Copies of this chain bind each other. A is one copy, B any other.
């Protein structure tokens, strides 16, 4: 029994595809772990896509005008690794395929951005790839609007599975892409009718073509094993001005004669016997991991075509009138100018000492940021007037008009976060976007990916405590600061006043390799800082008030810093010397030298103050026996001052806790 001939069989492309299949079977078998089903099912589609359409240059994987290929169904990582090996990526020799899923190999279980060249985004958590790709395709159009076709003219292709399309984030992504008319986005759906549990009939009956069409997409279907049909479908997708869904009717595990079409080949090695059967079925006579030169040659031709396109692009760029601006955007430049502009702004703050919410202070700082850095792109998940993320003259991005700098992301926190990842990964822009801090939960999988990938996006999370008042416990973050500080490589900053907020924005804009999350108050806060000679927020924590020979140290963040200061005054009136430490960022503080940390926190008893749970304070800021004034459970619905009193987060309570510690 041999693999069925399709009506427009292309020997060369079938061989290209079979190389993916063979490498996948062999690598998964060697690892005794992995997912052969998807790479084998979509190998023909991938071969046609790369052979006939994709423009990338493995010798310059970061070429800005390359097409983006996103493997949203990340468990099929061997598809990507096999392709990157065949294309000749320098970091993907066959030895890496042999070490698939082993410690230290570039061939991680799921594709990881930064871990191997040619991986555009970390995928595996389903739906993230397609939603990130929306941001990439959007960034392409935004960059095109700024720099024209000569410099920016590429496509974003996605391979997505049923899982990606069942996840909720896909709805947010699809609606957003359709609304913005992202015609450069083409999603190749691995329509294999199989999920881990079995047939898709077990769990879904959505007509995906109709669903995408309802959100303004072009849709077309093809036989995923017929190169001519595949090519015709991708051609049609490129012709249509709308984003496109190509339903690729595929057989999962295509080529494994006894397992293909079933869910058994999704996530486990095929086994030696079935691999031998597949080699017969596919008429693939080579030893494991061996590819014949003619097949390599065909794949390397794609690489040469891409290198040629990249060189032509470089010539265009070098003679382009906007080349300097283009390079600056790519390099995330302008930081010197920002430092200078912020210095003036912060000096004014010291004079004016505004009493504003830090969300308002964020808007004020953003006015400076956005006037200085042309590559910022703001937005909000439908809370623009609450997050205060849109500064003057920020024109919205709309379908067909991508020159603006503001995105109405809609009520789509998850889609927003993933799109921001995509914008940042694409390059050329510094994205920031807002929602309420409580709704960080809605976009947490994408925030985690920002951190895991180390992409510099800025989350503007306002209404950061019970201080938001009447909206009540569903909207009041209590555990969110702890849960966000728990995410490795995420920089959480909770500024106490307008100066710290400005400093936080400087840190966020300078960040090159990690995301920054700002937790901002709804309620007005006094300016507490006395000088602006150093960005003290970058220290993570610093003494705001130090009476010398302190008897107690009050450590607070954000809106509770002014409560700590008031407590220190109460204590002073009772003859007790209290230092106050403002601690806007635990992560930045943890990076300081040990002696700085010890000196800042002091040896005296400590009281932490934060309108949130204590988790995360102990070990970092507090020692056994130190005190804490904060929350122990969910909030309530009432005006903010009532809530602070009700939950005992007051200067009096802080002073009392301090006195008890001193007297112990």
A→B interface (CB under 8 Å): 31, 33-34, 74-75, 101-105, 108-110, 112, 122-126, 162-163, 166-172, 175-176, 178-179, 195-198, 202-208, 210-211, 213-216, 380, 382-386, 396, 408-412, 414-415, 438-439, 441-442, 444-445, 448-449, 452, 469-475, 478-479, 482-483, 485-489, 613-620, 622-624, 632-634, 636-639, 642-643, 646
Contacts and interface: CB of A to CB of B under 8 A. Distances in A.
A539 B333 CA distance: 56
B615 A486 contact: yes
A384 to B, nearest CB: 5
Contacts of A167: 168, 172, 411-412, 442
Contact of A102 (B31, B202, B633, B639): B639
A377 B622 CA distance: 44
A618 B384 CA distance: 38
A615 B470 contact: no
Contacts of A639: 33, 101-103
Given A382-B195, A615-B616, A634-B452, A166 B411 contact: yes
A166 B408 CA distance: 13
A445 B409 CA distance: 19
Contacts of A206: 175, 178-179, 214-216
Contacts of A123: 474
A203 B470 contact: no
A274 B618 CA distance: 52
Interface centre among A197, A415, A488 (most CB of B within 10 A): A197
B638 A472 contact: no
Contacts of A110: 471-472, 474-475, 637
5 contacts: A195-B382, A196-B385, A197-B383, A208-B214, A479-B488
A103 B488 contact: no
A380 B102 contact: no
Nearest to A436: B125
Given A211-B214, A619-B622, 14 more contacts: A31-B470, A74-B474, A103-B638, A124-B471, A124-B474, A125-B438, A125-B441, A166-B382, A168-B169, A171-B171, A175-B206, A203-B409, A203-B412, A211-B215
Nearest to A31: B470
B441 A638 contact: no
Contacts of A385: 196-197
A470 B109 contact: yes
A208 B205 CA distance: 17
A412 B380 CA distance: 25
